[in-house]
């Protein structure tokens, strides 16, 4: 569930499967005015909440309670308050809390999606190892939605509502 006051949201749909792109890793960065360098923005802290994230290729407990080997499985695990939320899309293909209220300021932002890992987890070859969507925010009081429609061979993005 997305925080109601999050000023920036994204939603990723896997058009090859017709489903939300669950488990896609992403990063949010802002271009600093003076240095012209990208600064990755930190995720918010939270109490222990369940989240979905791909795990490394090793035995693990999956959502169904079964031990599985290999890649391509998503596991439900807890994130403690001591660690930031991981930057992965959830079961609905969304990544809630990209920015906290008051954290957004006018400037140039970049959402980087690690698509090669996403497709590798599904045993699918792809053309784009990553996708960077760069956009400008001029009014920090507005809300911004950046959808991504994704397939192994193409992608589309636009400013949503």
Tokens 């932002």 sit at which residue? Answer: 109
- The helix (run of H) or strand (run of E) holding residue 30 is strand 26-31
- For residue 85, pLDDT beyond 70: no
Radius of gyration of the chain from Cα atoms?
16
Average pLDDT, the chain: 77
pTM above 0.85, yes or no: no
Is 114 in contact with 89 (CB distance < 8 Å)? no
Strand partners, 160: 145
Cα dihedral 42/46/52/54 (nearest 10):
40
Measured CA to CA, the distance from residue 31 to residue 33 in angstroms comes to: 6
How high is the pLDDT of residue 146? 95
How long, in residues, is the chain? 161
Q: Categorize the per-residue pLDDT at 101 as very low, low, confident or very high, splitting at 50, 70 and 90.
A: confident
């Amino acid at each position: 569930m997305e925080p109601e006051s999050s000023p920036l949201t994204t939603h990723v749909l896997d058009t090859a499967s017709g489903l939300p792109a669950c488990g896609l890793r992403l990063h949010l960065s802002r271009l600093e005015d003076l240095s012209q360098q990208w600064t990755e923005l930190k995720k918010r802290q939270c109490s222990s909440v369940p989240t979905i994230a791909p795990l490394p290729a090793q035995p693990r407990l999956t959502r169904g309670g079964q031990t599985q080997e290999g890649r391509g499985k998503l596991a439900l695990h807890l994130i403690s308050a001591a660690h930031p939320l991981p930057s992965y899309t959830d079961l609905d293909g969304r990544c809630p809390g990209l920015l906290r209220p008051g954290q957004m300021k006018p400037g140039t932002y970049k959402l980087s999606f690690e698509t090669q890992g996403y497709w590798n987890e599904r045993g699918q070859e792809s053309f784009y190892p990553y996708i960077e969507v760069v956009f400008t925010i001029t009014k920090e009081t507005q809300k911004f939605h950046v959808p991504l429609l994704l397939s192994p061979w193409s992608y589309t993005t636009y400013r949503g509502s």
